[in-house]
A and B are shown apart, each in its own frame.
Chain A
């Protein structure tokens, strides 16, 4: 068991600290509360001159408009599929890459690391046209990853979440001591066995951390879903369901809030699932 550092602290200080933590939590959560509240407000109250932090006539109308959209369930499942695939695949690829740059020394090691960083520095809008044509040509060669497919979304989000994942995982892989690897080798374990049966489980908590990033950025993406899924709208993802409510000069604010609430919930669920791993595991990123 990892020893949890116990910082001795005087009681009145702790009470003050806890009070401020709760207060800050309330302040941080307030905009979220407002979003959910607006989703339940009837149409006239969403933008009124006397905004109240409550509503006496909660209505499910906005949610109805969200869920009754054609193919809403389909979009939800598509988003889940894409985000899930990205989380799993980026975990694997990033783990291997992080192992390579941390436990081996080779020429261009620093260059590769910097290259991973550079990949994130370009504004994404600038890349949409080249990526569009890349996907189109790729789709001609490999069925299943061209335009109008979920595969194209998975590929592009993989590419964008890898750099950060590799940099984060470096710390975790470094934390595992060399002596462990030597010991496993002496025991006759193959390199592959060490990699997957020893190193991978140790780094799993770190992967929990990076998986949250990958999940959030894939789940909330509008741009690539808009650009790559053109005619096969059955392959659209959840943000499309939200975009319907943005109409120039006639935004449906209740619908926007309801749609956003529906979009935010799964991320919170995902976090609850991985959070225990997350906090205990992030400790590894500091060691070494």
Chain B
């Protein structure tokens, strides 16, 4: 019985219970020592400890100093300024406005990316090989394009003078789009950037969820179809609960990436939009701090961003824990 290490048949022939959170057994049955997990963790922890934890600690330290390029290259001495950087930051009304904008924009990006990715993942399961391959390949191309190029091409496509989108819309009869400048209005500019972000982020969601859906037992889906459930109902009551672990990873990753978005906004809105109306936190940080090498202030903003993301993520995880999802 144990000789048969053809795992795949093993796995699928096991009786499949209704998925419930599975706890790893306390200790482990294979008699591993107390230090085994730490041994396995060692490469990753050493790498992360040295290359991320230490610099993040430095980040916190620098946020309490006046530390610009002049200090770094020895032109001027470093000075401890306490909470001055944070003070300057919180006293700036633009910071609060940009923070709110970032939260809303990131939220919209996450929701749209997940919606599009999930919908297309479901669509992929309903088509045959050729259309599926076409869509996957197109999606991967979108994913692989460097962010700077994707942004440049998108903003060019929607250019009011040179872009084909406006001209096509007018040709289709929507004359309101004659010479319409997508980047001029605050919300249309955000809409444009949102579209590009969804375009380059949905492949990740789509591919991941597609494979997850394929692993759902056929009986469950057939039962739902026989009961007459609509596609939306099937998704909501049958598929989504079973895909929770995947959705968890995908959502958290999207939240982190979309909150930190920089390149797309910077390129498509020429550095933050008309009179800074399209600034998000990372672009604001670049403008105010990094571009002029004010690392003290930049580090303060970095710390604030980290704390916000940490709060949001921990809150989300706690919510899921209460719903029974095992971490």
B91 at the interface (CB under 8 A from A): no
In the bound assembly, the distance between CA atoms of A13 and B162 in angstroms comes to 39
In the bound assembly, the distance between CA atoms of A99 and B43 in angstroms comes to 13
The answer to whether B40 touches A100, judged by C-beta atoms less than 8 angstroms apart, is: yes
Which residues of B17-59 have CB atoms within 8 Å of chain A's CB atoms? 19, 22, 24-32, 34, 36-45, 47-48, 50-56, 58-59
A47 at the interface (CB under 8 A from B): yes
**Cβ–Cβ < 8 Å partners of B285 in chain A:** 123, 125-126
**Cβ–Cβ < 8 Å partners of A171 in chain B:** 245-246, 249
The answer to whether A96 touches B10, judged by C-beta atoms less than 8 angstroms apart, is: no
**Cβ–Cβ < 8 Å partners of B310 in chain A:** 118, 121
In the bound assembly, the distance between CA atoms of A242 and B31 in angstroms comes to 54
The answer to whether A181 touches B208, judged by C-beta atoms less than 8 angstroms apart, is: no
A interface, how many residues as a size bin?
Answer: 35 or more
**Cβ–Cβ < 8 Å partners of B126 in chain A:** 7, 9, 13-14, 17
A139 at the interface (CB under 8 A from B): no
Digitize A55-66: 1 where CB-to-B-CB distance is under 8 Å, 0 elsewhere.
000000000000
**Cβ–Cβ < 8 Å partners of A285 in chain B:** 208, 211-212, 245-246, 249
In the bound assembly, the distance between CA atoms of A181 and B28 in angstroms comes to 10
A180 at the interface (CB under 8 A from B): yes
B103 at the interface (CB under 8 A from A): no
B172 at the interface (CB under 8 A from A): no
Contact A178:B25 (CB < 8 A) given known A21-B135, A123-B305:
yes
**Cβ–Cβ < 8 Å partners of A182 in chain B:** 29-30
A88 at the interface (CB under 8 A from B): no
Stretch at the interface among B75-83, B138-146, B186-194, B270-278: B138-146
Which residues of B270-327 have CB atoms within 8 Å of chain A's CB atoms? 282, 285-286, 290, 295, 298-299, 301-302, 305-306, 309-310, 313-314, 317, 327
A17, A51, A103, A127: the one within 8 Å of B28 (CB) = A103
**Cβ–Cβ < 8 Å partners of B141 in chain A:** 28-29, 32, 264, 268
The answer to whether A25 touches B72, judged by C-beta atoms less than 8 angstroms apart, is: no
Stretch at the interface among A69-77, A106-114, A228-236: A106-114
**Cβ–Cβ < 8 Å partners of A96 in chain B:** 40-44
The answer to whether A18 touches B217, judged by C-beta atoms less than 8 angstroms apart, is: no
The answer to whether A220 touches B246, judged by C-beta atoms less than 8 angstroms apart, is: no
B70 at the interface (CB under 8 A from A): no
In the bound assembly, the distance between CA atoms of A220 and B246 in angstroms comes to 25
Digitize B126-159: 1 where CB-to-A-CB distance is under 8 Å, 0 elsewhere.
1110011011111111111111111011101100
A29, A34, A180, A286: the one within 8 Å of B216 (CB) = A286
The answer to whether A156 touches B51, judged by C-beta atoms less than 8 angstroms apart, is: yes
B105 at the interface (CB under 8 A from A): no
**Cβ–Cβ < 8 Å partners of B152 in chain A:** 256
Which among A2, A26, A126, A131 has the highest number of chain B CB atoms within 10 Å? A126
In the bound assembly, the distance between CA atoms of A217 and B301 in angstroms comes to 24
Which among B154, B215, B310 has the highest number of chain A CB atoms within 10 Å? B215
**Cβ–Cβ < 8 Å partners of B314 in chain A:** 114
The answer to whether A191 touches B36, judged by C-beta atoms less than 8 angstroms apart, is: yes
In the bound assembly, the distance between CA atoms of A144 and B20 in angstroms comes to 49
The answer to whether A25 touches B134, judged by C-beta atoms less than 8 angstroms apart, is: yes
Ranked 10 nearest A-B pairs via Cβ: A282-B211, A126-B302, A5-B218, A283-B215, A260-B149, A159-B51, A267-B144, A130-B55, A130-B58, A100-B40
Interface residues of B (CB under 8 A from A): 1-3, 5, 7-12, 14, 19, 22, 24-32, 34, 36-45, 47-48, 50-56, 58-59, 62, 72, 120, 123-128, 131-132, 134-150, 152-154, 156-157, 161-164, 167, 199, 204, 207-208, 210-212, 214-218, 221-222, 225, 242-243, 245-246, 249, 252-253, 256, 260, 262, 282, 285-286, 290, 295, 298-299, 301-302, 305-306, 309-310, 313-314, 317, 327
Known: A34-B156, A209-B208. 9 other contacts (CB 8 A): A3-B218, A7-B126, A97-B45, A116-B44, A117-B256, A127-B55, A159-B47, A216-B143, A281-B211
26 contacts between A and B (CB under 8 A): A1-B9, A6-B218, A9-B126, A20-B123, A22-B131, A24-B135, A25-B135, A32-B138, A49-B161, A100-B38, A105-B24, A114-B314, A116-B44, A117-B313, A119-B48, A119-B53, A121-B305, A122-B306, A129-B295, A155-B47, A168-B249, A182-B29, A191-B30, A263-B146, A280-B211, A284-B215
